[in-house]
């Protein structure tokens, strides 16, 4: 097990180039099983979630090779519709395979998916939508067995704009007979990326980025070479890190409209923000002001994946902030670790009340999930003294070369084996 040793208090200055979005790459891997032609995904981040998804494809019979920064996938010999429980319990995004496997084989057997322990994330929306497309579903002993003849297009309405359910519907309907109209769809940039990826393979999908997506079923899909959208959550993590530590940092590769709520909140804190093409520059000096209220919402609202980092930022701002978590009921599990560093945070249900202190102090803390772990690293970077962040396996799920990028910005951070 590895840990970070961080000597805090260093300003962050320089430029960081973003990785491809984890939340885009994983469904693209799942989509590769839809064709027997070669698929190449460019600039794939070397993170454990990607390696886990690659192993899922290999278990299905596909060949996956990493060539430099690219992943080359050949699913022509894929023959299995079953995913082992060991892999599904490691990776929440394994649920994307339901739609792909049903399209390819007419059958899918998976255990209930796992991932970070941030609260209940039921797949009822996925299953009810698949039933609308003609899928028979049986659940038993923690497994889901889905079977169908010919998938048929349908009218589907989501009660909540679930990203995973939206992407699963696209993967299941892309070769279904007739038209599928999805209302109440999620609008995330990663949905748009999946639509464009599928269309490059020969699909007919339109409307991604709005709440109505229309899929005209096609008979076959071809190969594709594709570079995914850059990671807006990684961008937000580095922007917030600079706000916490002070300095001038530029993130390269993100579109400002994909992080506009975060930029609004950073300006509210007192940071100076500059935007030019796909570059966002932040300047942070002196003690910042609290945000007073941040409420997580589906895109384009403030992302839940940046809630923990925003709480860390407000922990040293002047004033008080209310952080409201609307999406995952246990996403404040990192707070007791943050309190070890001197943060004044009180959690009541889905609300966290943050009273800013002048400075956090170093401590030994443990990452319990991906984004909470990244937030603890940010807290340690801004704290006075030395901190240790334990259990980096969670952080490795979503951030490639995290230490190296932070060191290039001037952070004093080491990774050691315990």
β-pair type (412-417, 364-366)? unpaired
Residue 389 has pLDDT above 70, yes or no: yes
237 shares a domain with 130: no
Domain enclosing residue 85, as ranges = 22-226
Query: For residue 74, what are the contacts with CB-CB under 8 A and spacing of at least 6?
Result: 38, 39, 62, 63
Query: For the chain, what percent of residues have pLDDT higher than 90?
Result: 88
31 shares a domain with 14: no
Whole-number pLDDT of residue 41: 98
DSSP annotation of 302 reads B
306 shares a domain with 172: no
Torsion of CA 187, 254, 334, 380, to 10 degrees: -170
Q: What is the pLDDT of residues 324-371, one digit of tens each?
A: 999 987 789 999 999 999 999 999 999 999 999 999 999 999 999 999
Whole-number pLDDT of residue 79: 92
Q: What is the pLDDT of residues 197-247, one digit of tens each?
A: 999 999 999 999 999 999 999 999 999 999 999 999 999 999 999 999 999
The first and second tokens of residue 11, run together, are: 């300003």
376 shares a domain with 245: yes
Residue 113 has pLDDT above 90, yes or no: no
CA atoms within 13 A on the CB side of 6: 33
CA atoms within 13 A on the CB side of 232: 24
Number of compact structural domains in the chain: 2
Residue 110 has pLDDT above 70, yes or no: yes
Rounded to a whole number of angstroms, the distance between the first and last alpha carbons of the chain is: 6
Cβ proximity of 354 and 313 under 8 Å? no
338 shares a domain with 245: yes
Long-range contacts of 215-219 (CB under 8 A, 24+ apart): 215/153, 215/169, 215/170, 215/173, 215/174, 215/176, 215/179, 215/180, 215/181, 215/182, 216/179, 217/151, 217/153, 217/173, 217/174, 217/175, 217/176, 217/177, 217/178, 217/179, 217/180, 218/174, 218/175, 219/175
Using pLDDT thresholds of 50, 70 and 90, give the confidence band for residue 88.
Answer: confident
Q: Which of 52, 116, 148, 245 is catalytic?
A: 116
Cβ proximity of 271 and 283 under 8 Å? yes
Q: Which of 199, 226, 253 is the last residue of a domain?
A: 226
Residue of 197, 201, 204, 199 lying closest to 221 (CA atoms):
201
Query: For residue 20, what are the contacts with CB-CB under 8 A and spacing of at least 6?
Result: 42, 43, 44, 45, 227, 228, 229, 230, 231
Using pLDDT thresholds of 50, 70 and 90, give the confidence band for residue 118.
Answer: very low
162 shares a domain with 132: yes
357 shares a domain with 310: yes
Q: Which of 50-64, 110-124, 256-270, 352-366 has the lowest mean pLDDT?
A: 110-124
CATH of the domain at 81: 3.65.10.10
How far is it, in rounded angstroms, from Cα 82 to Cα 177? 24
Whole-number pLDDT of residue 122: 66
Query: For residue 301, what are the contacts with CB-CB under 8 A and spacing of at least 6?
Result: 261, 295
314 shares a domain with 254: yes
Q: What would you report as the CA-atom Rg of the chain, rounded to the nearest whole angstrom?
A: 21
Whole-number pLDDT of residue 144: 86
Q: Which of 90-99, 134-143, 264-273 has the lowest mean pLDDT?
A: 90-99
Average pLDDT for the chain: 94
Q: Which of 226, 241, 261 is the last residue of a domain?
A: 226
116 annotated active-site: yes
- Cite the beta strand spans of 92-238 per DSSP E: 107-111, 136-140, 143-147, 155-157, 179-183, 204-206, 212-216, 224-226
Identify the burial level of 77 via C-beta atoms within 10 angstroms of its C-beta, where 0-12 means exposed, 13-18 middle and 19 or more buried: exposed
272 shares a domain with 193: no
Q: Which residue's entry shows tokens 């839809």?
A: 34
Whole-number pLDDT of residue 270: 98
Tell me which H or E stretch contains 387: strand 386-390
- Cite the beta strand spans of 54-95 per DSSP E: 63-67, 70-74
Residue of 354, 350, 348, 414 lying closest to 381 (CA atoms):
414
213 shares a domain with 78: yes
Q: Which of 176, 198, 226 is the last residue of a domain?
A: 226
pTM, 2 dp: 0.95
Whole-number pLDDT of residue 108: 93
Q: What is the pLDDT of residues 199-209, one digit of tens each?
A: 999 999 999 99
206 shares a domain with 108: yes
The first and second tokens of residue 352, run together, are: 């966290």
The first and second tokens of residue 106, run together, are: 């007419």
The first and second tokens of residue 202, run together, are: 């020969």
Whole-number pLDDT of residue 117: 42
At residue 257, the 3 state secondary structure works out as: helix
Q: What is the pLDDT of residues 160-191, one digit of tens each?
A: 999 999 999 999 999 999 999 999 999 999 99
β-pair type (351-355, 70-74)? unpaired
Residue 198 Cα distances to 36, 44, 57, 238, angstroms: 14, 18, 18, 30
Using pLDDT thresholds of 50, 70 and 90, give the confidence band for residue 115.
Answer: very low
246 shares a domain with 205: no
How far is it, in rounded angstroms, from Cα 219 to Cα 66? 29
């Amino acid at each position: 097990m590895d840990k970070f040793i961080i000597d805090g208090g260093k300003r962050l200055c320089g430029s960081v180039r973003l990785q491809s979005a984890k939340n885009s790459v994983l469904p693209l891997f799942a989509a590769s099983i839809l064709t027997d032609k070669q698929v190449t995904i460019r600039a794939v981040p070397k993170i454990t979630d990607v390696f886990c998804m690659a192993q899922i494809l290999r278990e299905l019979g596909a060949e996956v090779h990493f060539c430099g920064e690219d992943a080359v996938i050949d699913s022509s010999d894929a023959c299995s519709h079953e995913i082992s429980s060991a892999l599904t319990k490691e990776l929440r995004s394994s649920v994307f395979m339901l739609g792909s496997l049903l399209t390819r084989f007419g059958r899918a057997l998976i255990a209930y998916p796992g991932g970070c322990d941030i609260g209940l994330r039921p797949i009822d929306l996925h299953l009810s939508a698949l039933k609308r497309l003609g899928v028979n579903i049986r659940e038993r002993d923690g497994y889901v067995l889905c079977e169908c003849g010919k998938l048929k297009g349908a009218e589907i309405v989501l009660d909540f704009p679930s990203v995973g359910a939206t992407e699963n519907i696209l993967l299941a309907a892309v070769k279904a007979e007739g038209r599928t109209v999805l209302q109440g769809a999620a609008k995330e940039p990663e949905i748009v990326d999946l639509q464009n990826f599928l269309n490059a393979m020969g699909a007919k999908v339109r409307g991604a980025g709005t709440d109505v997506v229309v899929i005209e079923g096609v008979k076959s899909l071809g190969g594709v070479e594709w570079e995914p959208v850059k990671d807006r959550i990684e961008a937000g993590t580095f922007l917030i890190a600079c706000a916490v530590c002070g300095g001038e940092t530029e993130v390269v590769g993100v579109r400002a409209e994909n992080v506009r709520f975060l930029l609004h909140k950073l300006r509210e804190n007192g940071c100076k923000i500059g935007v030019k093409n796909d570059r966002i520059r932040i300047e942070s000096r002196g003690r910042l002001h609290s945000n007073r209220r941040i409420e997580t919402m589906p895109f384009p609202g403030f992302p839940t994946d940046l809630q923990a980092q925003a709480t860390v930022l407000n922990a040293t701002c002047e004033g008080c902030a209310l952080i409201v978590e609307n999406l995952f009921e246990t996403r404040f599990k990192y707070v007791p670790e943050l309190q070890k560093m001197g943060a004044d945070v009180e959690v009541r249900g889905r609300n966290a009340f943050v009273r800013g202190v002048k400075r956090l102090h170093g401590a030994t803390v443990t990452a319990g999930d991906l984004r909470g772990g990244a937030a603890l690293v940010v807290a340690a970077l801004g704290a006075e003294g030395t901190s240790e962040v334990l259990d980096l396996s969670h952080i490795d799920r979503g951030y490639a070369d995290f230490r190296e990028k932070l060191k290039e910005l001037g952070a004093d951070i080491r990774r050691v084996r315990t």
